């Protein structure tokens, strides 16, 4: 029997439209409907069901104890961080070609894959209060982008994402409580925050900034992917439904030519941890990691995902004898722009 996996499937490339490109910048997020095929979503959901049933486990993540009741087992996990480093299926979704097609346009062309998170968000489980992702994951220059894949319908009731539209133009607010050294600390009048991600707005001081902007909910169907930049303030509420899970898979990425002084709180050598993150698309002059489970991407298949067509020789705008500016073939040496 041939078991078809996401790794072996050939996908129709996704071409981002001009209007989607503009929307991402205008709103701070872009929802691409039906980006990931439902067969792939079903495969990841089956894996999640197996985790909860104890039929599969992720190395380093304790499985639910055998003596739990079915309800306790169902609620055992809330979120698993960085599973792509130890589990092949998570690496495949981090490097899903259709997700990378969009990222290549929004933050590429060179894309580094940094982080994965699997959210369970079963009925009654909490949300995550106002935060900016680049507060947690610094990239220099800052090109961070999240890709949030809905595995279940995500509704207002079960805790979909909400975005403060316009806040993508805000700086990253540093904290006063020492949680991270990140944020735009050199801006003269920036007011530090505290308790980012806290769901109590009176404690989460980023809510003062969020209040300047209209907040928009983004409901999603399985297979929809919501892309959002590292600056946009966003949150999700608790799952208030009685029966509806709100599972999702989130990857974080940046331009592969940015320094990434971040390894999910783990140590790394030197000034940046780029050598621990996977080159997903394009090329880079900086170090990068190979995918541990061999998912095809730019790091191991530069012929497919890395090389770009040779560019024609550059031309410069030069004045001609009549004083008009015209495009002129580049001189090898001694030209002036």
Ligand X SMILES: O=C(O)CCC(=O)C(=O)O
* Residues near ligand X, by CB under 6 A: 119, 127-128, 133, 146, 148, 159, 234, 236, 248, 250
Q: How far are the Cα atoms of 12, 182, 297, 302 from residue 104, in angstroms, in the given order?
A: 15, 25, 12, 14
The nearer residue to ligand X, 83 or 282, going by C-beta atoms, is: 83
Contact 151, 287 (CB under 8 A): no
Q: Which of 214, 251, 219 is nearest to 33 (CA)?
A: 219
The nearer residue to ligand X, 87 or 128, going by C-beta atoms, is: 128
Provide the token pair at 188. Answer: 């003269």
Question: What's the closest the beta carbon of residue 327 comes to ligand X, in angstroms?
Answer: 44
Contact 229, 28 (CB under 8 A): yes
Question: What's the closest the beta carbon of residue 59 comes to ligand X, in angstroms?
Answer: 23
Q: Which of 84, 52, 54, 96 is nearest to 71 (CA)?
A: 52
Helix 97-106 vs helix 18-27: angle between axes, to the nearest 10 degrees? 70
Question: What's the closest the beta carbon of residue 326 comes to ligand X, in angstroms?
Answer: 49
The nearer residue to ligand X, 28 or 282, going by C-beta atoms, is: 28
Residue nearest to ligand X (CB): 236
The nearer residue to ligand X, 6 or 250, going by C-beta atoms, is: 250
Prior bond to 207 cis, omega within 30? no
Find the helix or strand (DSSP H, E) in which 329 lies: strand 325-329
The nearer residue to ligand X, 236 or 255, going by C-beta atoms, is: 236
Question: What's the closest the beta carbon of residue 316 comes to ligand X, in angstroms?
Answer: 43
Question: What's the closest the beta carbon of residue 163 comes to ligand X, in angstroms?
Answer: 10
Question: What's the closest the beta carbon of residue 302 comes to ligand X, in angstroms?
Answer: 29
Contact 160, 270 (CB under 8 A): no
DSSP β-ladder status, 29-32 and 234-236: unpaired
CB count, 10 Å around CB of 271? 9
The nearer residue to ligand X, 160 or 299, going by C-beta atoms, is: 160
């Amino acid at each position: 029997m041939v078991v078809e996996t996401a790794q072996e499937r050939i996908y129709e490339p996704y071409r981002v439209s001009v209007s989607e490109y503009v929307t991402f910048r205008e709103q701070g997020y872009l929802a691409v409907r039906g980006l990931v095929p439902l067969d792939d979503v079903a495969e990841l959901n089956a894996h999640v069901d197996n985790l909860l049933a104890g039929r599969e486990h992720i190395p380093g993540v304790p499985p639910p104890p055998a003596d739990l009741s079915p309800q306790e087992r169902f609620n055992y996990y809330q979120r698993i961080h960085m599973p792509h480093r130890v589990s092949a299926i998570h690496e495949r979704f981090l490097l899903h070609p259709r997700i990378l097609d969009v990222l290549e346009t929004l933050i590429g062309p060179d894309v580094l894959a940094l982080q994965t998170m699997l959210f369970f968000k079963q009925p009654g489980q909490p949300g995550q209060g106002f935060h900016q992702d680049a507060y947690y994951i610094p990239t220099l220059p800052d090109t961070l982008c999240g890709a949030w894949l809905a595995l279940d319908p995500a509704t207002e009731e079960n805790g979909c994402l909400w975005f403060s539209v316009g806040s993508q133009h805000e700086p990253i607010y540093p904290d006063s409580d020492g949680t991270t050294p990140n944020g735009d600390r050199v801006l003269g009048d920036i007011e530090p925050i505290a308790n980012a991600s806290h769901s109590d707005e009176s404690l989460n001081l980023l809510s003062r900034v969020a209040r300047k902007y209209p907040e928009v909910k983004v409901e999603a169907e399985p297979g929809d992917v919501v892309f959002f930049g590292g600056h946009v303030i966003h949150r999700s509420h608790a799952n208030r439904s009685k029966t509806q899970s709100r599972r999702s898979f989130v990857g974080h990425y940046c331009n592969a030519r940015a320094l990434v002084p971040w390894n999910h709180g783990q140590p790394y050598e030197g000034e940046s941890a780029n050598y621990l993150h996977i080159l997903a698309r394009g090329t880079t002059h900086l170090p990068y990691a190979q995918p541990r489970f061999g998912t095809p991407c730019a790091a191991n298949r530069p012929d497919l995902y890395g090389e770009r067509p040779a560019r024609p020789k550059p031309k410069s705008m030069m004045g001609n004898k009549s004083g008009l500016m015209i495009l002129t073939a580049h001189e090898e040496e001694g030209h002036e722009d």
